[in-house]
């Protein structure tokens, strides 16, 4: 569920094929959301219901369960550290030890009114020495761990689950939207070398940084492509629809190209300033060999890649996928990458998490009762 559009995609995995066959698509304008937050549950749920019905008609399948993408301004990454004493008598490090250290790292964050969606061990030390590669099977006494936790506000998660449930769909698991999109938009080489995946949505921009194949940072900014459209509408005194066409380079009317570039560049520069500030904070400014990959509806903004290269001084490209081969389809548009990635999330089953547990298990247990009570209040 994006602030602007809600998309449902149905995929079928065929043995031996890397990517699923897309057999159903449903999309509708999102109502009831702002900056990714649910403001009006009934309207938001109706958006989901309509998109689901469209996907059911095109696929011929009744949709009862689905993977859910989580975004919004409260989605962010937080780094924590934890320690565990190796439990086995012979000193062999096991998954249990990693989980204990991970749990302590989460506890040390002291999260208030937030839920952990994913956790990713970033680095390990065993008896004070840094370990590269797989930690399991090594022998030692004290395991130290640094991890990235992707968190979201309790309220947003609860509201999102309520909306999906009200629409008649059971959530299988929650997946942070940038992680889902990374399955489609990024190659293993890009993730290993170091890159930033930047999703420009209507009202938010989300950036996740990968290094050595794992995410090391996540940040969401309260700005988006709708701000560019609004600026163009005000600058030229034209309707929003026409302003959006100008932003994407589709308009046929003659407008001052120089003035348009000035308007777009001013707002895009605001986005790049936020990105650069964060890259400096994590000491990655101009240090991502695989550069920046743009996805989301706002990635189609005219001149975005060139301005990014000039401003951020990094390789910059529009997200692409090899999923469809030579087939022409609207699903190649990077606006669809999060929804497409959710299908692969089911196949990949979030392999980064050493605990192997669904991120929804703990959350769902805590929220089940509150969702039921909330449904009773919302139902007529």
pLDDT at residue 13 tops 60: yes
Give the tens place of pLDDT for each residue, 197-235.
999 999 999 999 999 999 999 999 999 999 999 999 999
What pLDDT does residue 354 have? 41
What pLDDT does residue 356 have? 42
Average pLDDT of the chain is: 90
The whole-angstrom separation of Cα 233 and Cα 236 is: 6
Buried b (16+ CB within 10 A) or exposed e, 317-348: bebebebeeeeeeebbebbbbbbbbbbbbbee
What pLDDT does residue 359 have? 61
Read off the pLDDT of each residue in 97-116 and give the average, rounded to a whole number. 94
pTM (predicted TM-score): 0.89
- Helix pair 154-166, 359-378: axis angle to 10 deg: 70
The β-bridge partners of 120 are: 148
Give the tens place of pLDDT for each residue, 303-313.
899 999 999 99
What pLDDT does residue 250 have? 84
- Write down the residue that tokens 């194949």 correspond to: 213
pLDDT at residue 46 tops 90: yes
Read off the pLDDT of each residue in 112-116 and give the average, rounded to a whole number. 93
What pLDDT does residue 345 have? 86
Q: Domains along the chain? A: 76-153 (3.30.1490.110)
Contact 231, 271 (CB under 8 A): no
The whole-angstrom separation of Cα 21 and Cα 17 is: 9
């Amino acid at each position: 569920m994006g602030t602007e559009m809600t998309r449902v995609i149905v995929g079928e995995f065929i043995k031996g094929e890397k990517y699923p066959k897309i057999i159903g698509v449903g999309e509708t304008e999102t109502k009831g959301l702002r900056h990714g937050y649910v403001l009006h549950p009934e309207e938001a749920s109706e958006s989901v219901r309509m998109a689901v019905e469209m996907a059911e008609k095109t696929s011929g399948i009744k949709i009862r369960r689905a993977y859910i993408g989580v975004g919004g301004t409260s989605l962010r990454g937080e780094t924590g550290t934890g320690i565990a004493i190796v439990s086995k008598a012979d000193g062999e490090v096991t998954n249990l030890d990693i989980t204990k250290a991970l749990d302590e790292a989460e506890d040390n964050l002291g999260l208030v009114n937030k839920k952990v969606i994913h956790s990713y061990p970033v680095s390990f030390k065993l008896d004070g020495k840094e370990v590269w590669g797989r930690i399991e099977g090594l022998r030692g006494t004290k395991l130290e761990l640094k991890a990235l936790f992707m968190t979201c506000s309790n309220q947003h998660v609860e509201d999102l689950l309520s909306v999906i449930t009200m629409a008649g769909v059971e959530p299988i698991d929650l997946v942070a939207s940038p992680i889902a999109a990374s399955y489609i938009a990024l190659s293993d080489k890009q993730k290993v070398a170091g890159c930033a995946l930047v999703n420009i949505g209507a009202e938010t921009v989300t950036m996740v940084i990968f290094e050595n194949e794992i995410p090391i940072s996540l940040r969401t900014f309260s700005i988006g492509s709708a701000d560019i459209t609004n600026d163009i509408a005000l600058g030229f005194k034209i309707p929003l629809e026409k302003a959006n066409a100008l932003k994407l380079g589709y308009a046929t009317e003659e407008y001052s190209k120089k003035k348009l570039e000035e308007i777009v560049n001013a707002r895009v520069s605001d986005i790049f300033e936020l990105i650069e500030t964060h890259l400096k904070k994590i000491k990655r400014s101009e240090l991502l060999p695989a550069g920046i990959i743009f996805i989301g509806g706002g990635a189609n903004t005219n001149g975005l890649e060139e301005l990014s290269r000039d401003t951020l001084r990094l390789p910059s490209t529009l997200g692409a996928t090899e999923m469809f081969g030579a087939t022409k389809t609207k699903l190649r548009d990077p606006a669809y990458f999060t929804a497409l990635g959710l299908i692969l999330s089911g196949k990949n089953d979030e392999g980064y998490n050493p605990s192997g547990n669904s991120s929804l298990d703990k959350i769902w247990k805590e929220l089940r009762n509150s969702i039921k009570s909330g449904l009773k209040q919302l139902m007529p």
